[in-house]
Structure 1
């Protein structure tokens, strides 16, 4: 079964391919030209569905199964920010490093070195006949310091519950078993088996 990912984020594509080894996984940009998708939803679920619907429609292939992920980090000391704005926390053209260091600065500005936080992943599946969305969460602590160069995004500042290393320092296999995206994808796979 071929899954078309509604993302061109190389980190997400790599992670989803690794977590969905039983499927042929392709980024939509391998099939059609990349285009801008306006994510104007108020929740991870709404934005995941917006992305999957847009790619399904643009592909023009009724047999396509499009999978999208909308995810981000919510930091308690920042009242849940950046949340759905995680990918553009430091501005629209920001890269992973810009976002990471902006969030570190935001936590420091509150006069603390860490805060409880969690990641959310919403995985949407869109086909000709169905639309689904499932969620996964990972809880832990956001630190005002980056450690490790594994993973992507905010991984170097996030320590999962029960661990003393950041996602940037942890082994890939451990991260796979903990991640919000892995949890959401395990639910998505149950849906894919029924299609």
Structure 2
């Protein structure tokens, strides 16, 4: 079964490929030219649906299943920011490092060294006549010191509940078990089996 990902984010593609080994996982950019998708909804779920619908329509192939993920980190001390703006928190052309540094600085500006936080992953699946969404969450603490080289995005500043190391320091197998995306993909796999 061909599973087309509505993303060109290398970190997400790698993670989803590892978690969906039973499928032929292809980023949409290998099938058609990349194009801008305006994510203007106010929830992870709706933004994931926008991406999946746009790629499904652009592919114009009823024999593919498109999966889109919208995910991010929400920090309690910042009233849930960056939330749905996680990927562009440091500005439109910000790198992962820019976003990470901005979030660390924003927490420090509250005179804090850490804050409760959580990751959310919403996954949308769009196929011929089908639209489904699932969610996964991971709770923990956002800290103001980046630690570790593993993962991507905000991983070096997030310590999962029950651990004393950041996602940037933890072993990949542990991360897979804890990951918000893993939890959402597990639920998504149940939907895929029934398609």
TM-score after normalising by structure 2: 1.00
- Tell me what 2:5 maps to: 5
Q: Say what the alpha-carbon RMSD is for the aligned residues.
A: 0.3
Counterpart in the other structure of 1:39? 39
Per the TM alignment, residue 2 of structure 1 is displaced from its structure 2 partner at its CA by 1.1
For 1:123, the equivalent position in structure 2 comes to 123
Aligned pair 1:72/2:49, yes or no? no
TM, length-normalised to structure 1: 1.00
Residue in 2 aligned with 1:90?
Answer: 90
Q: Aligned runs of 1:51-62 on 2, under 5 Å?
A: 51-62=51-62
Q: Secondary structure at the match of 1:187?
A: helix
1:18 counterpart = 2:29: no
Gaps of 5+ in 1: none
Q: Cα deviations across residues 80-122 of structure 1 (Å, max 9, x unaligned)? A: 0000000000001001000000000000000000000000000
SS at match of 2:25: strand
What does the per-residue CA deviation read over 1:117-167, in whole Å, with 9 as the maximum and x for residues that have no partner?
Answer: 000000000001100000000000000110001000000000000000000
1:144 and 2:141 aligned: no
Distance 2:178 2:194 in 1: 25
User: Any unmatched runs of 5+ in structure 2?
Assistant: none
Alignment size in residue pairs: 195
* 1:32 CA displacement: 0.3
**1:155 corresponding residue in structure 2:** 155
